[in-house]
Amino acid sequence: MKFTVAQLNYHIGNFTGNKDLICKAIRKAKAAGSDLIIFSELCIPGYPPLDLLDRLDFIEKCDHTVKEIAKECTGIAAIVGSPTINKKHEGKKLYNSALLLSEGKVIFSANKALLPTYDIFDEYRYFEPEKQFSVFLFKGIKLAITICEDLWDEQPFDNEFEKTRLYTVSPMEELARQNPDIIINIAASPFSYSKIEAKENIFISKAIKYKIPVISVNQTGANTELIFDGASIVVNEKGEVFNQLPFFEEAVETYTFENIKSGSIAKRDTKTDSISLIHKALVTGLRDYFTKTGLKSSIIGLSGGIDSAICLCLAVDALGNENVRALLMPSRYSSDHSVRDAITLADSLKVHYDIVNIEKPFRAFEEDLAPVFKGMNRDVTEENIQARIRAILLMAVSNKYGCIVLNTSNKSEAAVGYGTLYGDMAGGLSVIGDVYKTDVYRLAGFINRESEIIPENIIRKLPSAELRPDQFDTDSLPDYNILDLILYQYIELQKPASRIISEGAERDTVLKVIRMIDFNEYKRYQAPPVLRISSKAFGAGRRMPLVARY
């Protein structure tokens, strides 16, 4: 018997596009002599559909699309993910289902039991959890069909407060009693650079525990801020990785059941370091955000600093240099080398750029506000005025040329509020808002791995907002190596200050940083969507009250 794994890039609500993708893969699998092709979780509507699931017309389109795809399934079966209506009188109105299609109809369905409500997930908002489990006999092989979390009931958590076992029910334990021959898991699992190995180990441990091969199919591509890495995996009954599909690429591959069990062909070497995966993820997120929203071009405020340089390189990779432009906006405080470095980078990437000096509008603001500010010292107010002038100029070019402003703030800055609302925090999409400053430097090294694309001077010089004379980030912040370690422990690991201090961090620094994080929540509420590459990004995955006192 032959199985085909279809790792595809779906578009939420694009039923025609998703159907065409799926049917093309079915035809390819059929030509390869496959008996069963497996797609990912909620592939019919695209993941995550969120509150579109509350609309009856949306669910009806899902059902209609399933029926259309079923017509393609003659001489081959397919497993697709779709919402289905709960026909019982009690419970939520929908199930998150895996549907087995064959000879023009649905011949079996398995509903998701474990509905995650942590991080970016809120599936219990829409779906009723399944409580009954059964395998399905297909061509003499017993299939245990599970959906994402149903196989992840013992997943590890970064947060030490979490239990090892998150759920009280184990669907696979129930299915194992029916002696399945293979475990099939369809998933829509977003990328997180810190979870790659842990995710792979889930499937390996299940294969070892039950002595059954595992096929897990994940989607790739991006939808809004969520980026899906693909990396679908096939594990034999010994827990050895038989094969893994590529990261951040579509792929359709076929295997025989006998080969999966014996592991008789070599697995593909897909091991790669986290920074190269982060780079691929951000390029994927940017490209799909523009492609799927119908946007074409972008603009970046290019300062001569490392953050805007990284964003420009990512945008060129994702969109092509013909769809990226830069605006240089020097002030009286901008160093000559910053302007030269920015021009050098734009020229090397062949990106169109303009230079608009902000001295005149800044002086006009100073003069007009002088009577209001009479007798008061210069402070952060004047710094913020410069940042907001730049935002106005960027938005003016955006309006005139129809190019979207890409925000260039990094996660370290966003965490501690080192940015100006309606100024350098403006933009339609935050490119590196989930990348700590120390990883920004690692990204620069990756981009320059073969030749100098980002001028070395941009990488070497001390970070500065250049909003006052001789200003450096370390005037207001700890060194980024220290800061990022505290941020990671407080944000991703959710450790309290006392624990971070007990593990060796300097007390006053920790307390200062945490005060800054908590105080600046109001700024992050008004920030653009952030491309997510970690286990705890700002946005939907981290919900904090604005008026809390804790």
Query: What is the residue whose two structure tokens read 């947060």?
Result: 159
Active site residue 313: no
* CATH code at position 282: 3.40.50.620
Residues 309 and 434 both lie in one domain: yes
248, 271, 294: which is the final residue of a domain? 271
Task: Pick the catalytic residue from 112, 280, 292, 536.
Answer: 112
Closest C-alpha among 208, 115, 207 to residue 167: 115
Q: How far apart are CA 550 and CA 547, in angstroms?
A: 9
Residues 13 and 147 both lie in one domain: yes
Residues 259 and 321 both lie in one domain: no
Q: Where are the alpha helices (DSSP H) in 224-377?
A: 257-262, 274-293, 306-319, 336-348, 359-369
The reply to whether 497 falls in a domain is: no
**pLDDT at residue 363 is higher than 70:** yes
Residues 62 and 155 both lie in one domain: yes
The reply to whether 314 falls in a domain is: yes
The reply to whether 437 falls in a domain is: yes
Q: Strand pairing partners for 190?
A: 228
**175 CB-near residues (< 8 Å, 6+ apart):** 133, 134, 135, 144, 146, 183
Buried b (16+ CB within 10 A) or exposed e, 246-267: bbbebbbbbbbbebbbebeeee
Task: Pick the catalytic residue from 2, 41, 195, 492.
Answer: 41
* CATH code at position 196: 3.60.110.10
Residues 264 and 301 both lie in one domain: no
**pLDDT at residue 263 is higher than 80:** no
Residues 383 and 458 both lie in one domain: yes
Active site residue 41: yes
**pLDDT at residue 163 is higher than 90:** no
Neighbouring CB atoms inside 10 A of 373's CB total: 13
Active site residue 148: yes
Residues 375 and 249 both lie in one domain: no
How many domains does the chain contain in total? 2
| pLDDT tens digits for range 422-457 | 999 999 999 999 999 999 999 999 999 999 999 999
Residues 64 and 209 both lie in one domain: yes
The reply to whether 494 falls in a domain is: no
Going by their DSSP bridges, the two strands 251-256 and 2-7 should be labelled as antiparallel
The reported pTM is 0.94
State the average pLDDT for the chain: 93
Give long-range contacts, CB 8 A cutoff, 24+ apart: 121-125.
123/96, 124/92
Task: Pick the catalytic residue from 73, 148, 311, 313.
Answer: 148
% of the chain at pLDDT higher than 90 = 85
The first and second tokens of residue 372, run together, are 């209001």
Q: Which domain holds residue 295?
A: 278-469+520-525
**What's the first-to-final CA gap in the chain, in angstroms?**
58
Q: How far apart are CA 477 and CA 420, in angstroms?
A: 15
| pLDDT tens digits for range 120-151 | 899 999 999 999 999 999 999 999 999 999 99
Residues 282 and 237 both lie in one domain: no
